[in-house]
């Protein structure tokens, strides 16, 4: 046996130990080579009478993150080749057989006649957890770093190597569906309670516990292969079953609006599979899996949320000739909500932080915010009291600029006022000097103009976080006209350390994310003036794929902030830069009615003491006409919400603000929740085709105004049949 990705040894007790330890990789992932190795190992174990059974474990710090999804691109290429050379029928057969290879291997292991146990430490996700589910006994390390789960739904897929069938035969059907739909990672005690694992133990003991189960006569048969097996929730067609499935279908519709084929495939696979013996059930699952693999939604989500996201996090746009930056200590100017959030995630990842504000009381309030954040993690079991103590010790709250001495990076998050920012920059640079990289967290002010107040504009850069910092994954890095490579490299190194996803954009008002999402918010406001019922605006936006409606989002961001931004744009750029209907809405809400959003309990919604909210009846005064909801074209409303954001993304690429479609897509999903099933703003256009998108833009512009006009770049692409990914993707960096 010649294994490359596993170590194989047999103990004196006759139990084989198969240790997954891929060379030249920090984490084990499932690849075609791993599948071949595992198949070979199973064959050897079955053929050797001296081997009683096998324990599978990992030689890495984690078990495995699951499959290498780049395999799917190879599969698509093989399908395209077979389609051309052998025809559709033969290509479909080949694609189906390739897509179920892992499922067949796991079933082979499960029914081979010898007991397999798995010892899990660290994360064990996706296809690797499906491997664990196929083993006859599962032991899980009882520590914070060990988690199991099937997160495929988050990239537009679903568990296709037996996961839907085994989970649905272990857990109650409702619980199984929730586990599959949410894609959550489960900790040891929860996994044991759900019967996803048989035993939890200290990490040092998991292999011995798994081995002991085999030595003591562990049975080489899965429960569902026994003649007397009964599904946990009984038969599908039974009174109990009929309590599950209508509700499950309703929840699916409510949560997905039928936008996610993988979620629907989970429903089908479990519903149909539970009515069949296991082998037939696995075939059903495989057919649905192959179907989903070829869906445009899965292709778009995998590209943006896995491949592109990973490429950006690994530094797709980091200058290669700048040495890695060591960031041991940073300064954060401004201890408000944003500054405290940046300080928290920095300290959480081992960086010492000087949190500075205009007086000690303000700085201490910022540290109290950090204390509250880490205390919440302790209360939820995500951190220990010792973790809290260590994190708070890394944060120095002060009003003394001298404390910034020795910082490797300074980031200002003070009030959005040029004068205030200029003063903070000057006072900080007087301490740290001109050579320390200086960053601004501004969300509205151009970086180039802010850099003019610094000692060295080439060392000045924008690092724009999204609120709340501790939850939002995206960070916009904004290049001023004079920003240099060292500043860019330092910013990207910092973002990597704090485990966020960066996109690099060039300087402009609103940068990238705010330009797009403010169009979304404005469209909801304009619909109010048209007479579209507020509840319909909110619900249709979610039907289109947005996480929250535009009115809810505006309340969260704050209406008075939107009013300030609008007035600033009007002052700087003139009347033509704003929409008079939006101006009317915001004046009515902020100036005339004192409704600022959630922060003062009054916005488009009324916020009640019991934490519920309801749309404010006074919104009716904004409607310029009374429309019958039954006559409103819901499809057109959905198009307006998505197109008004996507066309703005296209403008940012036409203007050179964004230069890489990966960043536009990843930024749109992680930054403002643009319909993930589309793959992002640019994938939305590419998926529709530039010609069709331009035609839709023109139709909407003719009816609703020039905000829908496509840029000339899109018209040129439509004429040539081009896509953004074909025209703009940097081939070398995509490799």
In-domain check, residue 317: no
Give the residue from 277, 294, 311 where a domain finishes. Answer: 294
Find out whether 682 and 669 touch, Cβ atoms under 8 Å: no
Q: What is the CATH number of the domain that holds 46?
A: 3.90.226.10
| 3-state SS assignment for residue 47 | helix
Rounded-to-5 percentages of helix, strand, coil across the chain = 55, 10, 30
Task: Report the mean per-residue pLDDT for the chain.
Answer: 94
Q: What is the CATH number of the domain that holds 376?
A: 3.40.50.720
| 3-state SS assignment for residue 479 | strand
Same domain, 505 and 520: no
Give the residue from 446, 477, 509 where a domain finishes. Answer: 509
Looking at the predicted structure, is the pLDDT value of residue 735 above 50?
Answer: no
pLDDT reported for residue 492: 97
The whole-angstrom separation of Cα 588 and Cα 619 is 9
Give the residue from 454, 481, 509 where a domain finishes. Answer: 509
Find out whether 668 and 513 touch, Cβ atoms under 8 Å: yes
Residue with the two structure tokens 């179920």: 100
Find out whether 119 and 206 touch, Cβ atoms under 8 Å: yes
Listed in order, strand segments (DSSP E) in 474-612 are 474-479, 501-506, 605-607
Same domain, 564 and 498: no
Find out whether 691 and 723 touch, Cβ atoms under 8 Å: no
Find out whether 210 and 115 touch, Cβ atoms under 8 Å: no
In-domain check, residue 302: no
Count: domains in the chain: 3
Domain assignment of residue 27, given as a range: 6-294
In-domain check, residue 324: no
Same domain, 483 and 408: yes
Same domain, 158 and 29: yes
pLDDT reported for residue 733: 42
pTM of the model: 0.91
pLDDT-derived band at 75 (thresholds 50, 70, 90) equals confident
Same domain, 684 and 589: yes
Same domain, 526 and 656: yes
Same domain, 285 and 342: no
pLDDT reported for residue 734: 38
pLDDT-derived band at 515 (thresholds 50, 70, 90) equals very high
The whole-angstrom separation of Cα 103 and Cα 249 is 26
Residue range 656-697, pLDDT digits in tens: 999 999 999 999 999 999 999 999 999 999 999 999 999 999
Residue 333 phi, psi dihedral angles, 5° rounding: -95, 115
Same domain, 606 and 494: no
Of the listed ranges 51-55, 324-328, 633-637, the least confidently predicted one is 324-328
- If you average pLDDT over residues 392-415, what whole number do you get? 96
Strand partners, 464: 476
The whole-angstrom separation of Cα 101 and Cα 71 is 12
DSSP H/E element including 475: strand 474-479
Same domain, 383 and 431: yes
The whole-angstrom separation of Cα 486 and Cα 456 is 12
pLDDT-derived band at 592 (thresholds 50, 70, 90) equals very high
Same domain, 592 and 669: yes
Find out whether 10 and 16 touch, Cβ atoms under 8 Å: yes
In-domain check, residue 67: yes
Looking at the predicted structure, is the pLDDT value of residue 557 above 90?
Answer: no
How do strand 395-398 and strand 409-412 relate by DSSP bridges?
Answer: unpaired
Helices (H), 157-277: 163-170, 173-182, 188-193, 206-215, 239-256, 261-273
Q: Which two tokens stand for residue 181?
A: 């739909």
Residue with the two structure tokens 């944003």: 338
Same domain, 677 and 652: yes
Rounded to the nearest angstrom, the gap between the alpha carbon of residue 104 and the centroid of all alpha carbons in its chain is 30
Q: CB under 8 Å to 380, separation ≥6 — which residues? A: none
Q: What is the CATH number of the domain that holds 575?
A: 1.10.1040.50
DSSP H/E element including 614: strand 613-615
- If you average pLDDT over residues 244-272, what whole number do you get? 94
Q: From residue 225, how far is each of 55, 131, 231 by CA, in Å?
A: 21, 17, 12
In-domain check, residue 175: yes
In-domain check, residue 311: no
| 3-state SS assignment for residue 235 | coil
Strand partners, 605: 615
DSSP H/E element including 418: helix 418-432
In-domain check, residue 138: yes
Same domain, 198 and 247: yes
Q: Which two tokens stand for residue 356?
A: 């500075």
Find out whether 43 and 109 touch, Cβ atoms under 8 Å: no
pLDDT reported for residue 731: 61
Q: What is the dihedral of CA 37, 288, 262, 129, to 10 degrees?
A: -30
In-domain check, residue 313: no
Looking at the predicted structure, is the pLDDT value of residue 588 above 70?
Answer: yes
Of the listed ranges 20-24, 440-444, 650-654, the least confidently predicted one is 440-444
How large is the angle between the packed helices 681-688 and 690-704, nearest 10 degrees? Answer: 110
């Amino acid at each position: 046996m010649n294994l490359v990705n596993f170590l194989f040894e047999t103990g004196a007790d006759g139990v084989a130990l198969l240790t997954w330890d891929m060379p030249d990789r920090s984490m084990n992932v499932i690849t075609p080579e791993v599948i071949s190795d595992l198949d070979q190992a199973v064959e050897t174990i079955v053929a050797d009478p001296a081997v009683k059974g096998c324990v599978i474990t990992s030689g890495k710090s984690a078990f495995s993150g699951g499959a290498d999804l780049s395999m799917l691109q190879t599969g698509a290429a093989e399908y395209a080749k077979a389609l051309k050379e052998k025809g559709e029928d033969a290509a479909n057969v080949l694609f189906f057989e390739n897509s179920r290879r892992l499922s067949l291997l796991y079933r082979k292991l499960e029914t081979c006649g010898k007991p397999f146990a798995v010892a899990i430490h660290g994360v064990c996700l996706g296809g690797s957890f499906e491997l664990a589910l196929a083993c006859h006994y599962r032991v899980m390390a009882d520590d914070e770093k060990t988690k199991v789960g099937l997160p495929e739904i988050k990239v537009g897929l679903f568990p296709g190597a037996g996961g839907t069938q085994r989970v649905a035969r272990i857990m109650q059907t409702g619980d199984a569906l929730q586990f599959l739909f949410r894609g959550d990672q489960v900790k040891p005690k929860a996994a044991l309670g759900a019967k996803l694992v048989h035993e939890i133990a200290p990490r040092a003991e998991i292999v011995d516990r798994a081995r002991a189960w085999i030595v003591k006569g562990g049975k080489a048969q899965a429960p569902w292969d026994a003649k007397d097996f009964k599904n946990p929730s009984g038969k599908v067609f039974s009174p109990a079953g009929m309590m599950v499935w209508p509700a499950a279908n309703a929840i699916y519709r409510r949560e997905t609006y039928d936008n996610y084929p993988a979620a629907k495939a989970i429903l089908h696979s479990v519903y149909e599979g539970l009515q069949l013996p296991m082998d037939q059930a696995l075939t059903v699952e495989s057919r649905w899996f192959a179907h989903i693999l070829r869906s445009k939604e899965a292709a778009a989500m995998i590209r943006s949320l896995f491949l592109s996201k990973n490429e950006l996090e690994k530094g797709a746009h980091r200058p290669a000739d700048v040495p890695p930056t060591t960031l041991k200590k940073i300064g954060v100017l401004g201890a408000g909500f944003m500054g405290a959030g940046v300080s928290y995630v920095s300290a959480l990842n081992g960086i010492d932080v000087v949190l500075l504000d205009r007086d000690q009381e303000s700085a201490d309030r910022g540290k109290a915010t950090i204390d509250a954040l880490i205390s919440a993690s302790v209360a939820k079991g995500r951190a220990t009291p010792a973790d809290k103590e260590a994190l708070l010790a890394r944060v120095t709250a002060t009003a003394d600029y001298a404390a910034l001495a020795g910082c490797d990076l300074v980031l200002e998050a003070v009030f959005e006022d040029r004068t205030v920012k200029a003063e903070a920059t000057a006072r900080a640079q007087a301490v740290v000097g001109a050579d320390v990289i200086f960053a601004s967290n501004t969300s509205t002010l151009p970086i180039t103009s802010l850099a003019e107040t610094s000692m060295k504009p080439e060392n000045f850069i924008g690092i724009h976080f999204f609120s709340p910092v501790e939850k939002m994954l995206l960070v916009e890095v904004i290049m001023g006209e004079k920003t240099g490579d060292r500043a860019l490299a330092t910013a990207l190194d910092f973002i990597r350390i704090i485990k966020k996803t960066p996109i690099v954009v060039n300087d402009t008002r609103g940068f990238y994310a705010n330009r797009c999402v403010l169009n979304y918010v404005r469209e909801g406001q304009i619909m109010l003036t048209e007479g579209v019922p507020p509840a319909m605006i909110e619900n249709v936006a979610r039907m289109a794929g947005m996480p929250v409606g535009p009115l809810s989002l505006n309340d969260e961001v704050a209406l008075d902030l939107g009013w300030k931004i609008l007035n600033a744009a009007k002052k700087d750029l003139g009347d033509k830069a704003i929409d008079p209907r939006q101006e009317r809405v915001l004046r009515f809400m902020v100036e005339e009615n004192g409704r600022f959003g959630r922060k003062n309990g009054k916005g488009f919604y009324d916020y009640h003491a019991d934490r519920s909210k309801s749309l404010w009846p006074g919104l009716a005064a904004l409607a310029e006409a009374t429309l019958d909801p039954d006559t409103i074209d819901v499809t057109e409303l959905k198009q307006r919400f998505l197109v008004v954001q996507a066309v703005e993304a296209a403008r940012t690429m036409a203007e050179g603000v964004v230069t890489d479609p990966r960043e536009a897509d990843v930024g749109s999903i992680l930054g403002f929740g643009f319909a993930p099933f589309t793959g992002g703003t640019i994938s939305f256009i590419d998926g529709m085709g530039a010609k069709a998108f331009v035609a839709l833009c023109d139709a909407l512009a003719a009816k609703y105004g020039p905000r829908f006009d496509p840029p000339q770049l899109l018209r040129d692409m439509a004429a040539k049949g081009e896509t953004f990914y074909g025209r703009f993707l940097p081939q070398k960096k995509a490799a």
